[in-house]
Amino acid sequence: MKLREGIHLVGSGEIGLSDSWDCHVYALTRGGAITLIDAGGGRPLSFERIEAALRADGLDPARIGDVVLTHWHKDHAGGAAGWRARTGARVWLNAIEQPLLAGCAWACPIDATPEHGAVIETAAARLRVIQVPSHSEGICAYLWEREDGYRALFSGDIVFAHGLLGLINYAGSTLEGYRANLGRLAGLNVEGLFPGHLLYQVRGGQRPIDLALERLKGGFVPPSIGQSEITLIAPADY
């Protein structure tokens, strides 16, 4: 589904676009080249349906040149090895998360290491890397400042619509990490907020980030994914 010029949603278990174990998978495009933000869970149906979604938008799956991972969790990184094998795409993952992925059943060779603050050149986009240890040890968001002036943030599981955090009961996910690092997303003036789950926004994307930052100043644990009326439901085959 084309969301904005050059930005397509091609995978999502939540809305039935791809396999039920998939996060939102975004395709960034330029001149026919494709960069995927996250890879989905890696089950056979995931590849089949993501490729079908690309073709439905007039995009050739063989043109996937890069798979940029936000973090190592299976719903985001489980498909990385498969895309690499199918298309020869480079797989990007930051140095903190690389050994975590390497220890998983869905391990994948890493071809490039995005460092916090760097601007990386992928097949379809120049992306600024913003590392926000919070939901996981080294999770990164990616800012795309397009030539037409549109600013899009691909936030993975760091922050979501309605200002929800990605704090979960899982190793490496800490409120301390959020307090220390979420401020790196302040003042970006993004229009588009494209998270790994739940709703995305094509306008007004900075507002939920600012709301999450304001909530972190209070004395109570801010609402997070999984403990809100707006939350995820585990797939039936989980």
Q: How many CB atoms lie within 10 A of CB 20?
A: 18
pLDDT in tens, 213-233: 999 999 998 999 877 566 666
Tell me what the mean pLDDT of segment 135-162 comes to. Answer: 97
pLDDT in tens, 29-47: 999 999 999 999 999 999 9
> Residue 161's Cα: distance from chain center in Å?
13
> Domains of the chain (ranges plus CATH)?
2-215 (3.60.15.10)
pLDDT (0 to 100) of residue 229 = 61
Give the pLDDT band of residue 111 (cuts 50, 70, 90): very high
What are the percentages of helix, strand and coil residues in the chain, rounded to 5?
Answer: 25, 25, 50
Tell me what the mean pLDDT of segment 178-206 comes to. Answer: 98
Residues 6 or more apart whose CB falls under 8 angstroms from that of 92 comprise 66, 67, 68, 69, 110, 111, 112, 113, 114, 120, 122
The residue to which tokens 């995009």 are assigned: 59
pLDDT at 237 over 90: no
